[in-house]
Amino acid sequence: MLFKSRRIPLFRHMAMVWCVSLLMVVVHSRDTSSKIQERMEEQIYHSPFLQSLSIHDRCRLFPTWSSSSTTDDDSSLVSWDDCETAHFYFPQNFGLFNGSAAEYPHQDLHWLYQLQDCMQEAQKQRLQGYFWDEFEMVWTNDNDEGEFDFWKTFLQRNPLRPTTVAFEYPSMETLSLQQQQEGAEIVPPVAIVVEDALHMLEVDTLEDLKQCLRTHQSHLAEIRPFGQNYDEGGNNCVFLGGFLQFLTPGVAAKIRQAGHVAWTHAQWGEFVPPLHTVHPDGYKDPLEAGIRTSDHISYEGWEALGPHKDSDSLYTVLVMLSNPDDYDGGEFHMQVDRSGNQSEQQRRLDESHPPLVLKPKKYDCVVFLADENTHQVLSIGGGDRKTVATEFWGHGDCPFGIKRPSPEMWLNYQSSHEWR
């Protein structure tokens, strides 16, 4: 008994020493991690590399057009006004609050500050991840400037505005060999692929926006079956509209510019709208059109999306967030089938063209006439297919919390400032 009575205090003493030591290690580890994070933030926001960049380039590295850190005096790094001028993009953000849904009161902007904080923290984490290897090299070599070769190359390869049209449909390439030999006429293009319209930081910022909205505005996330049967497919949607322009203006600007590139290349401004259209002003430049809706779309649990048109919208800009090999199947399918005031000859030309079946690259945008041509997502065998679909129309940008309103809802809002 005497032996046992002596072992118990010794055991307790050893356990106490072990716990205290572990606690000190944890505290030291957290303190060290915190200091590393603070140093890294300071290095990022005040690095000679970033400070030396033009405002155009800094705006591209900060798609939120704002910067925030635990250090002082970082306000000059990125400013909204400078980025607006650099991108030549001046969104009417005040209109996003007008007539918003009840979840977004003017009197209490806590919900907006919450989202801004979420996006700032996400941006901070992204930057730390992006620059980690670069700053390890800086610290190892005790070189305050570093080379930052990756980011210099990145900025060189990603222009301020998208410019390259990689594909158009219909075109001579989409005709069958027999049709080409017979000299078939080419229908004016209804779909354009703008290559590398967005870059890595902008696509990641879209993912951050989706996640922040799912966390803090969960009512904007919906599971959307298509049609009456599961076999007709569906998708999972997070409505980004309004928040896209307000919280990620750099991304909204690039999406508009991708639409403008397609509009210019296809000469859609010269098209005469069909008689049934709700766009009496014709196909206006996407830089001047309103954003009706912007949806982050994924397909977990779904196998396809049935044939449909984006009725009452002018254009849809489909941003590809996944690589083609990230998912099996899931091709974008479109058939030229314009109707309205077309002649019988025009209808025959439309029907003579084989459908478009395409798996665009990540960062590409597919821009197409929204309510005139049937499109769908073919069977998905597995994997992760993600896009952001932004629809433009002849009215203004829809306010926060309004999910793809009809033209009638918009006109009622214009007269009564109520959504019904």
Residues in a beta bridge with 383:
327
H or E element that contains 417: none
Number of residues that make up the chain: 420
**Residue among 262, 293, 250 at smallest CA distance from 396:** 293
DSSP code string of 42-102: HHHHH-HHHHHS-HHHHHHH-TTS----SSS--TTT--HHHHHHHHT----GGGGSTT--T
On whether both 182 and 55 belong to a single domain, the answer is no
SS3 string of 271-320?
A: CCCCCCCCCCCCCCCCCCCEEEEEEEEECCCCCCEEEECCCCCCEEEEEE
Helix (H) or strand (E) holding 226: none
Residue 387: strand pairing partners: 297, 320
At 159 the three-state DSSP class reads coil
180 lies in the same domain as 119: no
Question: Would you say 74 and 45 are in contact if contact means Cβ atoms under 8 Å apart?
Answer: yes
pLDDT tens, position by position, 146-161: 567 788 888 888 888 8
DSSP 8-class letter at 233: B
Residue 170 confidence class, pLDDT cut points 50, 70, 90:
confident
382 in the same domain as 264? yes
- Which token pair is 330? 């899931």
Does residue 44 form part of some domain?
A: yes
Split at pLDDT 50, 70, 90, the class of 21 is: low
| Predicted confidence (pLDDT) per residue in 289-343, tens digit | 999 999 999 999 999 999 999 999 999 999 999 999 999 999 999 988 765 545 6
Q: Indicate if 293 and 331 belong to the same structural domain.
A: yes
Statement to judge: residues 118 and 210 lie in one domain: no
Give residue-wise pLDDT tens across range 38-79: 666 666 677 778 888 888 898 988 999 987 654 455 456 788
Is residue 262 domain-shared with residue 120, that is, in the same domain? no
Mean pLDDT of 190-203: 95
Q: How would residue 139 be classed by pLDDT, with cut points 50, 70 and 90?
A: very low
Q: Are 254 and 396 in a shared domain?
A: yes
Per the model's pLDDT, the better-predicted residue between 262 and 39 turns out to be: 262
226 and 335 co-located in one domain: yes
Amino acid 330: pLDDT: 97
Backbone conformation region of residue 234, classed left if phi is above 0, alpha if psi is from -120 to 50, else beta: left
Closest-CA residue to 271 (of 395, 391, 372): 372
Q: Which two tokens stand for residue 397?
A: 């940008």
Beta bridge partners of 357: 333
CA 78 to chain centre: 20
For the domain that residue 328 is a member of, what is the CATH number?
2.60.120.620
Q: Do 388 and 240 share a structural domain?
A: yes
Between 243 and 10, residue with greater pLDDT: 243
Do 211 and 122 contact (CB within 8 A), yes or no?
A: yes
Task: Give the residue carrying structure tokens 């945008």.
Answer: 365
Looking at per-residue pLDDT, the higher value among 248 and 182 belongs to: 248
- Residues 6 or more apart from 80 whose CB is under 8 A from it? 65, 66, 249
Q: What is the CA radius of gyration of the chain?
A: 26
Total count of domains within the chain = 2
Task: Please check whether residue 417 is in contact with residue 99, taking contact to mean a CB–CB distance below 8 angstroms.
Answer: yes
Q: Which of 20-24, 36-40, 114-118 has the lowest mean pLDDT?
A: 20-24
pLDDT band at 251 (very low <50, low <70, confident <90, very high): very high
The pTM of this model reads: 0.84
**Taking residues 247-265, what's their average pLDDT?**
96
Residues near 173 by beta carbon (within 8 Å), at least 6 away in sequence: none
Q: Which of 155, 182, 215 is the last residue of a domain?
A: 155
pLDDT at position 336 is 82
Q: What is the mean pLDDT of residues 261-268?
A: 94
pLDDT of residue 130: 81
Residue 381's H or E segment, with its range, is strand 380-383
Task: Give yes or no for a contact between 104 and 400, defined as CB atoms under 8 angstroms apart.
Answer: yes
| Residue 412 located in a structural domain | no
Q: Are strands 356-358 and 332-335 parallel, antiparallel or unpaired?
A: antiparallel
Residue 385 shares a structural domain with residue 242: yes
Tell me what pLDDT residue 5 has: 42
Q: Are 54 and 83 in contact (CB under 8 A)?
A: no
Residues 81 and 180 in one domain: no
Helices H / strands E in the chain, number of each: 12, 14
Domain coverage including residue 312: 162-404
